[in-house]
Amino acid sequence: MTDSDGAPLKKTPLHASHVALGARMVPFGGWDMPVEYSGITAEHMAVRTAAGLFDVSHMGEVEIAGKGALEAVQHITSNDASKLQVGQIQYSGLTTPEGTFVDDLLVYRFGPSHYLLVINAGNIDKDYAWIAARAKEAVPDVATVNSSDRYALIAVQGPKAQDILQALTAIDLAAIKYYWFANGEIAGVRGTVSRTGYTGEDGFEVMVPPAMAARVWDALLQAGKAHGLIPAGLGARDTLRLEAAMRLYGNDIDEQSTVIEADLGWIVGWNKTEFLGRDVLHAQKTGGTKKTMVGFEMTERAIARHGHSVFHNGQPVGVVTSGTQTPFLKKAIGMAYVPPTLKAPGTELEIDIRGRKAKAVVVPLPFYKRPKK
Amino acid sequence: MSYPADLKYTKEHEWIRVDGNTGAIGITDFAQQQLGDVVYVELPEVGSTITAGKVFGTIESVKAVSELFAPVSGEVVEINSSLKDRPDHVNSKPHETWMVKVKLGSTGELSSLMDAAAYEQLIQK
């Protein structure tokens, strides 16, 4: 199999496990990845009600270390990394000088002067070239390393995730707060456990050396069986993240949309005097934007998809960035860019679905919020 | 799953079951496997005409949308209204879950369709 450029598809260290489990494999961001095992609906529901196991080893990692590491991270990302303690993580934007997204990412503070950035699979080469060049603008001698091949990443997500993972590790998982991590052994393998995910559910992501990935994967499948855990693919990952209104790079955000337009002002560290894109973002925060991201729900039976045009009172006003029929909420939902004047919940929209205009209404984001314990 | 011998098949993975001068149309087990969980089927109205080889509706799974191609030409005499609430039957019982019934314009078109053996060969390629 090859990707659209004809290059051979990359395989994660768990590729053979997916094939053995009968997964349907598809090309994604240059990787041969499982899109589903038992079916998107079943996998989605398992994550909302019990647990799902995801191979997300295709995600990239870039490390920035040494004196000046913080200064470099502060220059290239939108959020304020100075707020991070060792062991803490933040969601952030890798921004252009225009305030748009080179990528979105997680910033882990590994050590006092050591940061690990988790980036999207399809952007690894682009991001690393960008980060290496731009970090040096801030700190000429800072070390940047593309360590994507050094980590396998496995996500265990769902209300049972903690019980399942706790059986395999001495790390006290209850003590790990949301967006924090701890180091230790998982199924006898040295690694890192973070309370993070891309599903809107409680859960963890486990980072281990690629050679040990299958051992940890198998142990989690085994330990999870009694709790209802099943392997879950990219299909369910997409419907889960959309219910939680988490942005997907390449669909909802890209180099044409700014952090403010994407309604992600909360990942901007306004206290910072400088970072790439600050001037544009500050001007947009105070002066407004031409477009803003909203959530919508179809009020007619039809499913909006990425790229469909959005209308209001018969006039074209924007475009759908993500849309699906969600298995848990059992509604057709989506996100779109529209003029800020149309962002109020209750505003009526029409979506052009293959030539037919179907009615939709703006609703608050996220669509789904997990019940508080 | 085996492919019933009483159905005729298209290379776009629809089937038709002919009863007298009426044909019931659905999609094959192979097609539903490729689509994944079906969530919505958009069908033509009763009384409209469909044309062999042309699009007559769309089918959406959680992940994707596909077009439905008519195996034969004819007037739509009935649509399967149970699909509105149970589109998943396309996945669980693909060869029993018909989508539309048409009054056949001519039975000649049927001869260009595949039998089960020919269709099974096609999908094994």
Asked if residue A299 belongs to a domain, the reply is yes
* Domain termination residue (choose one: A149, A181, A201): A149
Q: Output the domain CATH number for residue A215.
A: 3.30.1360.120
Q: Specify whether A115 is located in the same domain as A233.
A: no
Q: How far is CA A21 from CA A16, A38, A221, B91, in A?
A: 9, 9, 11, 20
B46 interfacial to chain A (CB closer than 8 Å)? no
pLDDT tens-place string over residues A31-88: 999 999 999 999 999 999 999 999 999 999 999 999 999 999 999 999 999 999 999 9
**Given a cut of 60, is residue A3 above it in pLDDT?**
no
Per-residue confidence (pLDDT) for residue A4, from 0 to 100? 53
Please give the residue range of the domain that contains residue A180: 15-57+151-243
Are residue A77 and residue A47 in the same domain, yes or no? no
- pLDDT reported for residue A79: 98
Tally of structural domains, chain A: 3
Q: Are residues A239 and A308 in the same domain?
A: no
What pLDDT does residue A7 have? Answer: 76
CATH number reported for the structural domain that contains residue A344 in this entry: 2.40.30.110
Interface check A13 vs B, CB under 8 A: no
B36 contacts on A by Cβ (under 8 Å)? 24, 35-36, 39-40, 235
| Whether the predicted pLDDT of A2 surpasses 60 | no
On whether the CB atoms of residues A208 and A191 are closer than 8 A, the answer is yes
End-to-end CA distance of chain A: 45
**Does residue A303 sit in the same domain as residue A322?**
yes
Q: What percent of chain A has pLDDT over 90?
A: 95
Verify that A356 and A295 share a domain, yes or no: yes
| A172 is a domain residue | yes
Q: What is the CATH number of the domain that holds A76?
A: 3.30.70.1400
Residue A82 shares a structural domain with residue A217: no
Chain A nearest CA to B39, separation (Å): 7
Q: Would you tell me the crossing angle of helices A124-138 and A69-76 to the nearest 10 degrees?
A: 120
Asked whether residue A177 falls in the same domain as residue A105, the answer is no
Determine the Cα–Cα distance for residues B7 and B72; give it in Å rounded to an integer: 13
Q: Is the pLDDT of residue A373 over 70?
A: no
Distances (CA, A) of B14 to A41, A116, A302, B25, B75: 24, 50, 22, 7, 17
Boundary (domain end) residue, out of A149, A164, A197: A149
Check CB contact of B58 with chain A, cutoff 8 Å: yes
- Min Cα separation A166/chain B (Å): 33
Length of chain A: 373
User: In this predicted model, what pLDDT tens digit does every residue of B38-84 receive, in sequence order?
Assistant: 999 999 999 999 999 999 999 999 888 899 999 999 999 999 999 99
Q: Where are the alpha helices (DSSP H) in B43-105?
A: 89-92
pLDDT tens per residue, range A270-306 = 999 999 999 999 999 999 999 999 999 999 989 999 9
Other C-beta atoms lying within 10 Å of the C-beta of residue A24: 16
Residue A164's pLDDT is what? 98
Q: What percent of chain A has pLDDT over 70?
A: 98
Q: Which among B58, B62, B65 has CB closest to A40?
A: B62
Three-state secondary structure along A16-78? HHHHHCCCEEEEECCEEEEEECCCHHHHHHHHHHCEEEEECCCCEEEEEECCCHHHHHHHHEC
Dihedral (Cα; A178, A182, A186, A188), 10-degree rounding: -170
Is residue A252, in this structure, part of any structural domain at all? no
As its CATH architecture, domain B8-105 has Beta Barrel (2.40)
Residue A39 near residue A237 (C-beta atoms within 8 A): no
Give the pLDDT confidence of A131-173 residue by residue, as tens digits.
999 999 999 999 999 999 999 999 999 999 999 999 999 999 9
Amino acid found at A183? N
> Is B65's Cβ below 8 Å from some Cβ in A?
yes
Q: ipTM value, please give it.
A: 0.76
* DSSP three-state, residue B118: helix
pLDDT given at position A1: 43
pLDDT at A6: 67
Residue A355 lies in a domain: yes
Q: Does the pLDDT at position A5 exceed 70?
A: no
For residue A305, list chain B residues with Cβ-Cβ distance below 8 A: 65
Q: In this complex, is the C-beta atom of A24 within 8 Å of any C-beta atom belonging to chain B?
A: yes
Strand partners, A334: A296, A323
For an interface test with B, the pick among A24, A25, A28, A41 (most B C-beta atoms closer than 10 Å) comes out as A41
**CA–CA dist A82, A97 (Å, integer):** 21
Same domain, A138 and A173: no
Query: Is A312 among the domain residues?
Result: yes
Q: Is B54 on the interface with A (CB under 8 A)?
A: no
* Residue A187 shares a structural domain with residue A141: no
How far B36 CA lies from chain A's nearest CA (Å)? 6
Residues A43, A155 share a domain: yes
The arithmetic mean of pLDDT across residues B21-25, rounded, is: 96
The first and second tokens of residue A196, run together, are: 């993070």
Read off the pLDDT of residues A326-361 as tens digits, 9 standing for 90 and up.
989 989 999 999 999 999 999 999 999 989 999 999
The pLDDT of residue B21: 92
Name the residue among A40, A301, A332 with its Cβ closest to that of B36.
A40
Min distance A330 CA to chain B CA atoms (Å) = 9
Tell me which of A1 and A319 has the higher pLDDT: A319
Say how far residue A7 (Cα) sits from the centre of its chain. Answer: 25
